[in-house]
Amino acid sequence: MTKKTLFLLAFLATSLIINAQNTVIKAGHFFDARNGKMLENQIIIVQDGKIKEVGVDLKFNKTDNIIDLSSSWVLPGLMDCHVHITVNLPYRNLKMEQMYTNESTSLRAIRGTVVARQFLDNGFTTIKEIGNDANYATADIIKAIKNGWIQGPTIIYAGKIIAPYGGQSSNVNLEHERFWSFEFIDADTPDEIKKAIRKNMYYGATTIKMVTGDNGIYNAEDIKAAVDEANKYNLKVTVHAQGGLAGTNVITGGAAGIEHGFGLNNEQLRLMKDKGIFLVGTDFSYDNWYAYGVDSATATALNNRLVDRLKRAYKIGTPMAFGTDIIVNLPELNRVESSLKVLETWKSAEIPASYILQSMTIKAAELLGIDKVRGVLESSYYADIIAVKNNPLNDIESIKTVHFVMKEGEIIRNDKK
Ligand SMILES: [Zn+2]
């Protein structure tokens, strides 16, 4: 290498350092998710997709890209721990099996890209896609997002749902035996469960979802076999269960989370607290229940049951992560708007807004196993940052006023006021 080349290289390196442009966010109000408190006038410096520094009166270069959110409430990107982005059933007509037979994996994937984008645009920078996506449709959606073909949130992905024989279908005649394998893996022994986990991993799963109590109940040993196998690969196991013996076995087996848990009693909720097992309550509002096709009195009764369970879980101290599970859009509302109806249930249960926000950020990150890199706005964390127009601690529904979204340092949305 000649002296001249060396000089040129040194000059280029120096000019790169001088011109390195950070993004600087001036946050008028700032949610400290770790402590559940709102701080004032923070500055966030973002570099290479991550948060470099956060604090008051930080120094930055005039040439930096400055984003003025001084009249907004700035929060970590939200997380929904229970979504089905490739599913959409008609209003008040819940025919799951008909969808299995009428919609191909590719059609489901195309829908999934649209719904994933809706989540991102509305402030959800991370979602847990928890199965029911035909033949691994979401695995390809994740690839398309990584390739930059489309924009979408970070997706923690369950692959096919692992369940006792029959998946979540009932009354299928023998001529159509196992047609549910389009969506589920039948696994009835610890060995079959292990094999199902390995198959899901092979096709892109980053978490494991099981179902118990719909067709057959897993023993605690079955759950433990899944947890041990998943632990080898640093994956978490979360299980759809309502309560009763099915719920107790999930708790004894040591899963990371219970999905729904509509029928959990206080003793079970206490055991979950002791063992650090998360409840992902999928707390449907009246409107969500009604959308499923039940009559008005039944929708009220079912919602009241969830308000009661949510109140008890909060009082007992069961860890909770936010999850919606909406597969039917409400009239005139998109998927995220339909999903956020569940906030009405949280409000009826009088859960403090700061706790709800934590369940959508730091607590969700803990359940998903990403709490060292996402869920709070601190140095070295990914710059998943959103802003809303009103104070969500005064009314949690303010999270519906998202006007700025950044995912891993990239600005996805920045509405001019
Ligand atoms: Zn679900």
**Secondary structure class of 302 (helix, strand, coil):** helix
Tell me which of 173 and 3 has the higher pLDDT. Answer: 173
Name 238's bridge partners.
Answer: 209, 257
What pLDDT score was predicted for residue 13? Answer: 53
**How distant, in Å, are the alpha carbons of 141, 159, 354, 397 from that of 204?**
11, 7, 34, 34
Mean pLDDT, the chain, rounded, equals: 95
Q: How far apart, in whole angstroms, are the C-alpha atoms of residue 390 and residue 280?
A: 26
pLDDT digits (tens, 9 = 90+) for 32-84: 999 999 999 999 999 999 999 999 989 999 899 999 999 999 999 999 999 99
pLDDT digits (tens, 9 = 90+) for 116-159: 999 999 999 999 999 999 999 999 999 999 999 999 999 999 99
Using the mean position of ligand 1's atoms as its centre, give its distance from the Cα of residue 409 in Å: 30
Q: If pLDDT is split at 50, 70 and 90, which confidence band does 21 have? A: confident
The answer, yes or no, to whether residue 6 has pLDDT greater than 70, is no
Q: If pLDDT is split at 50, 70 and 90, which confidence band does 8 have? A: low
What pLDDT score was predicted for residue 95? Answer: 86
Using the mean position of ligand 1's atoms as its centre, give its distance from the Cα of residue 210 in Å: 11
Residue-wise over 357-372: b if at least 16 C-beta within 10 A, else e? bbbbbbbbbbbbebbe
Q: How far apart, in whole angstroms, are the C-alpha atoms of residue 275 and residue 301?
A: 30
The top-level CATH class assigned to 78-368 is alpha beta
Lowest-pLDDT range of 4-8, 132-136, 179-183, 325-329? 4-8
- Once rounded to an integer, what is the mean pLDDT over residues 265-276? 98
Using the mean position of ligand 1's atoms as its centre, give its distance from the Cα of residue 2 in Å: 64
Using the mean position of ligand 1's atoms as its centre, give its distance from the Cα of residue 407 in Å: 25
The answer, yes or no, to whether residue 271 has pLDDT greater than 60, is yes
- Once rounded to an integer, what is the mean pLDDT over residues 322-328? 98
pLDDT digits (tens, 9 = 90+) for 205-226: 999 999 999 999 999 999 999 9
Using the mean position of ligand 1's atoms as its centre, give its distance from the Cα of residue 39 in Å: 35
Lowest-pLDDT range of 92-96, 139-143, 244-248? 92-96
**pTM recorded for the entire structure:** 0.94
| Rounded percentage of the chain residues whose pLDDT exceeds 70 | 95
- Once rounded to an integer, what is the mean pLDDT over residues 174-190? 93
What does the domain layout of the chain look like in residue ranges? Answer: 17-76+377-414, 78-368
CB 119 within 8 A of CB 338: no
Q: How far apart, in whole angstroms, are the C-alpha atoms of residue 31 and residue 85?
A: 28
**Selection from 189, 187, 177 nearest residue 209 by Cα:** 187
Tell me which of 20 and 205 has the higher pLDDT. Answer: 205
What pLDDT score was predicted for residue 9? Answer: 59
The Cβ of residue 171 has, within 10 Å, a number of other Cβ atoms equal to 6
**Selection from 28, 22, 23 nearest residue 69 by Cα:** 28
Using the mean position of ligand 1's atoms as its centre, give its distance from the Cα of residue 17 in Å: 48
Phi then psi dihedrals of residue 118, to 5 deg = -60, -45
Using the mean position of ligand 1's atoms as its centre, give its distance from the Cα of residue 89 in Å: 13
Q: How far apart, in whole angstroms, are the C-alpha atoms of residue 201 and residue 320?
A: 26
CATH architecture for segment(s) 17-76+377-414: Roll (2.30)
Q: How far apart, in whole angstroms, are the C-alpha atoms of residue 258 and residue 28?
A: 37
Helices 105-121 and 137-146: angle between axes, nearest 10 degrees:
50
What pLDDT score was predicted for residue 7? Answer: 59
**Selection from 214, 356, 360, 242 nearest residue 305 by Cα:** 242
The residues, ordered by sequence, that sit 6+ positions from 242 with a Cβ below 8 Å of its Cβ are 213, 260, 261, 262, 263, 264
Using the mean position of ligand 1's atoms as its centre, give its distance from the Cα of residue 129 in Å: 9
Q: Residue 51, Cα to own-chain centre: how many angstroms? A: 21
